[in-house]
């Protein structure tokens, strides 16, 4: 009961914080509610920062008319493919190099060099290689997701207790059983910790790719709105992308709870 009431209180404060932010946005961009402080002309605030009511009107118009669904579907497909491919390749590469010290030492400087490269600059190269269709956006998203998952898996496997591995071998576990029952479970908590960041970065890869060159997607809608100085449509696109990124993050949280039921929650180990 105490935990549920504290959770409800936390949710209430989160909602109040959102309401306070929207109220501040509305008042700050309304030319009639505040005297000009930052701008000489009160209407300039609305031009530069948009108006929340018009932003939500634009979102409502997009969804009621159905004009956004095709663009949103393209962006979600690009994000999902980048997320899945980047996560799978990062998981496989992290497991391999964590269990192969020689290969890890050999490839270490190259992996660090690739990780230090700003991946956004690869977008024009991917556009040349894969065209302006979905392939270039997925490739950019994969490069953003891969390294986060890779380094978390690599670190998670490397931190497996040597005593646990030795005891498993004494009990007769072979390499495949060690991988399935020791290394992968140890890495999973690190993987899910990285997936929450990876969801947002997969969206970044898709939207940046659309922004630099495409004819479909929410990033394309934002670019078109920016070209006509429609700041309300720009903010509307940002709000839509944020909402769907939060939905994907929520889906990752649900998967984490189902797959990591064996992991003790905070405070449980102290009670034992």
Is 16's pLDDT higher than 80? yes
pLDDT for position 246? 83
For residue 130, pLDDT over 70 is answered with: yes
- pTM confidence score: 0.75
| pLDDT above 70: residue 152 | yes
Distance set, CA 239 to CA 58, 92, 106, 203, 222 (Å): 11, 34, 44, 13, 11
The set of residues, in sequence order, having a beta carbon less than 8 Å from that of 83 and lying 6+ positions away, is: 141, 145, 198, 199, 202, 248
Alpha carbon distance 182, 178 (integer Å): 5
SS3 of 50, please? coil
Compute the C-alpha angle 196/202/207, nearest 5°.
Answer: 135
Domain 68-261 in this protein, CATH class: mainly alpha
For the chain, what are the domain ranges?
A: 68-261
Q: Are 144 and 86 in contact (CB under 8 A)?
A: yes
CB 114 within 8 A of CB 230: no
Write down the mean pLDDT value for the chain: 77
- SS3 call for 71: helix
Average pLDDT over residues 187-203: 76
């Amino acid at each position: 009961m105490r935990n549920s009431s504290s959770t409800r209180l936390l949710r209430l404060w989160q909602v109040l914080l959102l309401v306070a932010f929207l109220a501040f946005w509305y008042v700050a961009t309304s030319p009639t509610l505040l005297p000009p402080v930052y701008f000489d002309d009160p209407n300039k605030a609305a031009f530069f920062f948009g108006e929340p009511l018009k932003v939500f009107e634009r979102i409502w118009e997009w969804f009621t008319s159905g004009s956004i669904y095709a663009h949103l579907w393209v962006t979600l497909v690009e994000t999902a493919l980048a997320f899945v491919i980047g996560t799978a390749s990062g998981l496989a590469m992290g497991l391999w190099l964590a269990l192969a010290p020689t290969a890890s030492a050999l490839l270490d400087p190259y992996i660090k060099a690739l990780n230090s490269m700003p991946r956004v600059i690869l977008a024009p190269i991917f556009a040349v290689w894969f065209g302006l269709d979905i392939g270039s956006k997925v490739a950019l998203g994969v490069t953003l997701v891969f390294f986060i998952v890779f380094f978390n898996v690599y670190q998670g496997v490397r931190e497996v207790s040597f005593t646990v591995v030795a005891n498993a071998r004494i009990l007769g576990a072979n390499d495949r059983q060690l991988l399935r029952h020791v290394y992968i479970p140890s890495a999973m908590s690190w993987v899910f910790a990285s997936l929450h960041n990876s969801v947002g970065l997969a969206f970044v890869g898709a939207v940046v790719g659309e922004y630099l060159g495409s004819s479909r997607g929410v990033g394309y809608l934002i670019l078109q709105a920016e070209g006509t100085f429609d700041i309300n449509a720009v903010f509307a696109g940002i709000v839509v992308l944020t909402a769907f990124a939060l939905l994907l993050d929520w889906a990752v949280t649900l998967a984490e709870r189902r797959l990591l039921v064996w992991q003790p929650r905070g405070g449980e180990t102290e009670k034992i």
